[in-house]
Amino acid sequence: MFSLIKYNLSYYIKSAKYLPPVICFAAFFAFNYQVAPIGIWSNLHITGIAIFILSSWVGMSFMNSEDKTQQYITRLHVKNETIYYLSKIVSIIIFLIPFYLITILRPSIFGMFTRDILFSEILIYIVVYFLVSLLGVSAGIFFHYDLLSGEMAILTHILFVILAIVPFNVIFADNIFVVYASYLLPPINFLAEKLHDLGDDVFYVDSNFWIFVIYALGYALILMTLYNIVIQRRNKK
């Protein structure tokens, strides 16, 4: 598995397909932190959405970076398609780790927040960023050119990301159908609701936060499992 992950990361970096999402994220990062001080929890909400977009975009580009013939050869060499696709997902997550660590550490180290951030709050940041990243990856991998044509994959991916980050449950709060339908999307807006009115107050880890953790983790794992089933069935055709 380690050798496969190393190969995946090396191939992806050489393909340079990471450049568009990384450049866009760097531009957001520079813009978001050009003025200080910034609110701790409002920042977590905004950067969380940015990390979701980055993760989903990287997930899509990562899955489409390897040449189809090379994919086939690698799968034959590995002999286990589940391991092959699992290694890709793990590789994507490893690739993304530096981005959300930098996003946490830079404002913390340089005192850009409105107050000193507690160590317990840094842990919450790490958990939230990891889960949001996991949600983005688990969604982005579905826009694989083996499942959708290139143009269709790109267009549907853009539409999906827009639907995922727009707070339909708030905008259409009076429409029960829309509110319940929004629960089918990645729970990014559940996090937004939780953080919206916190301001600079200390975050208390209550039952709602753990509901978000369990819901987000379960959502991502279900999508990843479903992807593995769908792509392997597609390969058998």
Q: What is the pLDDT of residues 16-33, one digit of tens each?
A: 888 999 999 999 888 877
- What is the rounded average pLDDT for all residues in the chain? 81
Q: Which residue's structure tokens are 């996090």?
A: 191
Structure tokens at 181: 């339908």
Q: What are the start-end ranges of the H helices in the chain?
A: 2-15, 19-32, 40-63, 68-78, 81-109, 119-140, 150-165, 168-171, 176-182, 188-195, 207-236
Enter the pTM of the model: 0.87
pLDDT at 94: 92
For residue 194, which amino acid is it?
A: K
DSSP-derived secondary structure for 117-164: PPHHHHHHHHHHHHHHHHHHHHHHTT--TTTS-HHHHHHHHHHHHHHH
Spans of all domains in the chain: 2-236
Map residue 38 onto helix, strand or coil. Answer: strand
pLDDT at 205: 66
pLDDT at 20: 92
pLDDT in tens, 71-97: 778 777 877 888 888 889 999 999 998
pLDDT in tens, 99-137: 888 888 887 777 777 777 777 778 878 888 888 899 999
